[in-house]
Amino acid sequence: MIEIGAALPAHTFTINRELLKAYADASGDQNPIHQNEEFAVSVGLPNVIAHGMLTMALVGKYVTDWAGGSGNVTHYGARFIKPVIVPANTDVDLTVTAVISSVENGLITLDLTATSGGVKVLGMAKAVVKK
Amino acid sequence: MLNPDSVGRTFEGANSITVTQSEIDSFCAVIGETDTTVAPPTFSIRISLEQSQSILSDPTVGLDWTRVVHGDQKFEIFSPIKGGDTLSCSSTIESYRVAAGNEIVTVRSDLKSGSEIALSSWSTLVVRA
């Protein structure tokens, strides 16, 4: 039901080091903080962290699945508030939920929540879709 | 430190970029997207960050890219990107402030196909003290 306040079903993505490598290759972002534990720790991080844009890409996939395709998204934005920490040989979760916050002129705004290990990783995450 | 004269300036990318279907396919594969007819909403970061990085590395700008952390990101998509599209990129430094010694810079990148704008994106970059 498309009405203000309606919640969309949650979806959980799996993030691991293999996915970080694949995203680095597909996006061109080879920053070692996303692949090399020693380097990540040397710059003060707890461990390797996921690319913020990988998190956004996966949350974007959640949005486009609901919207019926990548072509139906007109606006999408988020703030990176906490890193998704990805230890070696470990699958970590990225759990996404959404609430419809506006329905206007055929455009639906989703307020998105993304957590990893129970910690909120994106702030002010919103997408506007045509549906 | 960023040169204050850079704020409000728009830098045109030197070259246009042709998006290949295989780049879109690779990006889709990572996120499990099977429909590759148009690029996913965040695909353009691949183009805009690289372009704005090269544009804003102009020594008159003074942005130190080695200490940059991505603070937030926003996209406005007018026309989804497809394989074979040729796009030009311009980047504008929209705002700049210093907070707790960190420089906070908002860069808008516009991707155009000919004279038509396909996509605008805003990246807030934090240059760590």
Q: What digits encode the pLDDT tens for the residues A77-128? A: 999 999 999 999 999 999 999 999 999 999 999 999 999 999 999 999 999 9
* Chain B residues near residue A76 by CB distance under 8 angstroms: 41-42, 74-75, 77
* Spans of chain B, pLDDT less than 70: none
Structure tokens at B33: 């997207």
* Chain B residues near residue A78 by CB distance under 8 angstroms: 72-74
Residue A44 pLDDT greater than 80, yes or no: yes
What pLDDT, on a 0 to 100 scale, did the predictor assign at position B117? 97
**Residue A46 resides in a domain:** no
Q: Which of B33, B73, B78 sits opposite A56 (nearest CB)?
A: B73
B71 → chain A, closest CA residue: A80
CB count within 10 Å of CB A123 equals: 13
**Residue A73 resides in a domain:** yes
What tens digit of pLDDT does each residue of A105-117 get? 999 999 999 999 9
What pLDDT, on a 0 to 100 scale, did the predictor assign at position B9? 87
Within an 8 Å CB–CB cutoff, is residue B38 touching chain A? Answer: yes
Under DSSP, is residue B21 helix (H, G, I), strand (E, B) or coil?
Answer: helix
**Domain with A81 in it:** 7-15+51-130
CB count within 10 Å of CB B85 equals: 20
Question: Lowest mean pLDDT: which of A12-16, A56-60, A85-89, B102-106?
Answer: B102-106
A56 → chain B, closest CA residue: B42
Within an 8 Å CB–CB cutoff, is residue B40 touching chain A? Answer: yes
**Residue A108 resides in a domain:** yes
What pLDDT, on a 0 to 100 scale, did the predictor assign at position B2? 79
Antiparallel, parallel or unpaired: β B68-77 and B17-18: unpaired
**Residue A40 resides in a domain:** no
A79 → chain B, closest CA residue: B72
Between CA B44 and CA B47 the distance in angstroms is: 5
User: CATH number of the domain that A78 lies in?
Assistant: 3.10.129.10
**Domain with B48 in it:** 4-127
How many structural domains are present in chain B? 1
B79 → chain A, closest CA residue: A71
Within an 8 Å CB–CB cutoff, is residue B41 touching chain A? Answer: yes
**Residue A20 resides in a domain:** no
What pLDDT, on a 0 to 100 scale, did the predictor assign at position B74? 97
What pLDDT, on a 0 to 100 scale, did the predictor assign at position B58? 78
How many structural domains are present in chain A? 1
Within an 8 Å CB–CB cutoff, is residue B73 touching chain A? Answer: yes
Reported as a pLDDT band with limits 50, 70 and 90, residue A58 is: very high
Q: Are B56 and B93 in contact (CB under 8 A)?
A: yes
B24-29 LR contacts (CB < 8 Å, sep 24+): B24/B81, B24/B82, B24/B83, B26/A25, B26/A26, B27/A26, B27/A27, B27/A57, B29/A22, B29/A26
Q: Which residues pair with B68 in a beta bridge?
A: B127
User: CATH number of the domain that B39 lies in?
Assistant: 3.10.129.10
